Each structure stands twice: as structure tokens, then as C-alpha cells.
């Protein structure tokens, strides 16, 4: 597996936030319906703008949706999540065609597109809401994640221990509409230009064999 690390030091994609409380309704106005023949996978590895953009380039991925998972607050909004008081991490829901890409490959992309050894941090973004989490829905998915970590540790891929949480998915809350396809819709945003685009570019160089045609 190939690895690339992001270490750009610029302002993080975050804002000041109030105290987190449960909200009566979801923050997303529209949700994506998963086709019956497709499956889902969930990961957290830093700012979801970046992670979403990476997985959108993977052949076999139908959709990558930004949201929140891993915490306790019901129907959290962005300001609450970045406060660090909800327990949630910025996460991605991946809808994929198992005939074209496997869960194992998605796990490899996950570990290969961020630094899983930095606790509560990814690049310039700091806080528990930016922590590394590989979610699973089945015991088989859990075994795949744990085996991947075991193999990476065995070959000493990293200097420091992997701190990625392996966590059973409880619930995924889709983020506000303006977060969806953020890189595509905001190509000139300073954070996108300085962090997200370089992260995607390095992914494309590292995994050319699994990139969607036309997005190389």
C-alpha cells in the first residue's frame, strides 16, 4: 500500500461553536437513497471536504456524502460538531458498487490517504472531531479493518503507532447541504486550494489504477 501524508500549516476548516444540544430535526434538507445493489462504508479522517473529494475519485464509488458520526448528540449541526462537545467526527458515507470496488480496497484508500498516527489531528485541523475512525457495520468489515491495521503495523509502515479507532457505526447524520461536494462547488476556497486539492492530487498519483476514467 502506498501512503501520502499531508502536513500543510494553514487555517483549519472550522469556526467558533456554541454548546452542543440535541436537535429535533436533521440539518440536511435532502438525503441520498442508496440503490439496492449498492453498499455503504463510513470513515473519518480529517476535514470531510477533503475526504469526500478523495473517495469521489474512486472507481465504483457512486456517492460520497459528508456528515457526522461517532458521537452522542442527536441531529448535530456543524457548529456543534466543531465545538468538540458532541463526540462526533466529521465523517463520510460512501455508497459503492461492490462489483467494481471492494470494502477492503476502500479501507486501503482510507489508510493511504491520511495519517492514521496523529491523535485528534489531520494536517492543519486539530480536535477530536478530526480524529481517525474506521467504522464497520458487520463483523466481516471489522475483521478487514483490524487485519489491515495488523499488516501495516507488522511491516512498520509508520514510525508511530496507528491511533485509528475501529468503531461500530451507530448512526450517521448527513451534514448541511452546503457541505456536500464542497470542493467541486468551491474550487477557489483558500482551504480547498491549500489542503484539499493537494491531498486529492497525491491520492491520484498514488492510486492511478482505481481512479475513475476521466478523473486521472
> Which one-letter DSSP state was computed for residue 128?
G
* From 6, 20, 47, 109, active-site residue: 47
- Strand ranges in the chain using DSSP code E only, listed in sequence order: 39-45, 61-69, 89-96, 121-122, 125-126, 132-136, 165-168, 172-174
Please give the helix or strand (H or E) that residue 46 lies within, else none: none
Q: What is the 3-state secondary structure (H, E, C) of 177-215?
A: HHHCCHHHHCCCCHHHHHHHHHHHHHHHHHCHHHECCCC
Residue 47 annotated among the catalytic residues of the structure? yes
Catalytically active residues are: 47
Amino acid at each position: 500500500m502506498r501512503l501520502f501524508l499531508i502536513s500543510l500549516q494553514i487555517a483549519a476548516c472550522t469556526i467558533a461553536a456554541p454548546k452542543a444540544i440535541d436537535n429535533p430535526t436533521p440539518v440536511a434538507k435532502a438525503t441520498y437513497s442508496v440503490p439496492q445493489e449498492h453498499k455503504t462504508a463510513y470513515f473519518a479522517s480529517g476535514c470531510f471536504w477533503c475526504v469526500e473529494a478523495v473517495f469521489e475519485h474512486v472507481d465504483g464509488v457512486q456517492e460520497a456524502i459528508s456528515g457526522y458520526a461517532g458521537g452522542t448528540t442527536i441531529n448535530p449541526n456543524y457548529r456543534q460538531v466543531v465545538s468538540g462537545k458532541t463526540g462526533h467526527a466529521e465523517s463520510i458515507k460512501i455508497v459503492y458498487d461492490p462489483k467494481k470496488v471492494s470494502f477492503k480496497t476502500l479501507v486501503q484508500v482510507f489508510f493511504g490517504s491520511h495519517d492514521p498516527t496523529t491523535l485528534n489531528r489531520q494536517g492543519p485541523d486539530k480536535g477530536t472531531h478530526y480524529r481517525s475512525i474506521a467504522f464497520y457495520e458487520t463483523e466481516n468489515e471489522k475483521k478487514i479493518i483490524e487485519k489491515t491495521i495488523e499488516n501495516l503495523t507488522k511491516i512498520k509502515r509508520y514510525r508511530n503507532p496507528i491511533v485509528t479507532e475501529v468503531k461500530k457505526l451507530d448512526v450517521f447524520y448527513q451534514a448541511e447541504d452546503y457541505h456536500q461536494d464542497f470542493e467541486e462547488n468551491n474550487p477557489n476556497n483558500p482551504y480547498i486550494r491549500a489542503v484539499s486539492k493537494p491531498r486529492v492530487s497525491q491520492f491520484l498519483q498514488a492510486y492511478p489504477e482505481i481512479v475513475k476514467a476521466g478523473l486521472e
